[in-house]
Amino acid sequence: MSSFINISDSSFANEVLNSKIPVLVEFSAVWCGPCRQLEPVLEELFQELDRNIRLARIDIDSCVETTLQYQVMSVPTLILFINGEARQRVSGKQPRDRIEEKFFPFLE
């Protein structure tokens, strides 16, 4: 079972911006091979974290409004939202240690 929640333009504010816990959003696409390769890494990290965090996925092809709002130019792009604010982002398929390095300081 996936830890990801699927987000749409209409659910973004409620599920991400209004979330009481941090949300790591993956901007992806069904045709994106690197996105599919990255998702198991994110799932694994999510399972290992003992902190409250949610994983969310946005399909850039069906959620154009949110994709444009956050200026996502390539997939996968990961953006960490804390208290409704985009705090950190990384684009492209990254190795696990790079993801930890970029996002974990914000989750401590």
Domains detected in the chain: 4-107 (3.40.30.10)
pLDDT at 45: 85
Residue 66 to residue 68: CA distance in whole angstroms = 5
Please report the pLDDT score of residue 3 as a whole number: 83
Cβ proximity of 67 and 27 under 8 Å: yes
Q: Active site residue: 7, 16, 35, 53, which one?
A: 35
SS3 assignment, position 40: helix
Average model confidence (pLDDT) across the chain: 92
DSSP characters over 27-51: EE-TT-HHHHHHHHHHHHHHHH--S
Q: Which pTM was predicted? A: 0.94
Residue 85 pLDDT > 60, yes or no? yes
Over residues 24-75, the pLDDT tens digits come to 999 999 999 999 999 999 988 888 876 688 999 999 999 999 999 999 999 9
Q: Does the annotation count 35 as an active-site position? A: yes
